[in-house]
Amino acid sequence: MAHVILGFLMIAPMSLYELVKAFESSVSLFYSASTGSIKRALDILHTEGRIEATDVQPGARGKKTYRLTDAGRRAFHDWMRSAPDGPDLETAALSRLFFLGLLAPEERAPVIERILDRIDGELAVLTAVEAQLNGMPVAEGHRELAPYQHATLDYGLTGLRAAREWFGALLERERSGGT
């Protein structure tokens, strides 16, 4: 979440309220965040020196506007250029895709290539599982269950293949100079 916040702050300084609204109106389709989790991430980023609070308004609420420091900009760029990690490929890939336009044009294709590498790795794992399952007999008590388990695996493979095709086409467009 911290890197998504850094991405939003790369676009413009924002208050907690504005960050919550930015999450809700854009990345919430693939990235869920509560006000509390955003606040905790802001506190950590502030402690780490990646953001600073500016325009602190007096009063009970003490509205703060946050902006990036140089360390925050570096952390964002390092994250964008790193291999997409974490348990959820879709979140890792789409959060980088969402902010890809913040990188210099020559930095964009390598980000997409790293996403494709992650997709290929997950495809290899599921393809191996599929091969293993196809070679196994179905236990007598699971004849009604097995087709749906295979369907679940097929769904995952179909989704990864579609993502592979989509990101591959995006990479071609990026390399040709037009998205």
Residue 57 pLDDT greater than 90, yes or no: no
Percent of the chain with pLDDT over 70: 94
Q: Is the CB of residue 90 less than 8 Å from the CB of residue 30?
A: yes
Domain ranges within the chain, ordered by starting residue: 2-81, 100-175
Range 2-81: architecture per CATH: Orthogonal Bundle (1.10)
Whole-number pLDDT of residue 136: 76
Whole-number pLDDT of residue 159: 96
Which residues, including other chains, have CB under 8 Å from residue 105's CB and lie 6 or more apart? none
Task: Collapse the DSSP code of 9 into the 3-class scheme (helix H, G, I; strand E, B; otherwise coil) and give the result.
Answer: helix
- The rounded distance, in Å, linking the Cα atoms of 70 and 78 is 12
- The rounded distance, in Å, linking the Cα atoms of 53 and 63 is 10
- Helix, strand, coil distribution of the chain in percent, nearest 5: 70, 5, 25
Query: How long a stretch of residues is the chain?
Result: 179
Instruction: List, for residues 134-164, the tens digit of each pLDDT value.
Output: 877 878 877 788 888 889 999 999 999 999 9
Instruction: List, for residues 81-96, the tens digit of each pLDDT value.
Output: 999 988 889 999 999 9
Whole-number pLDDT of residue 44: 95
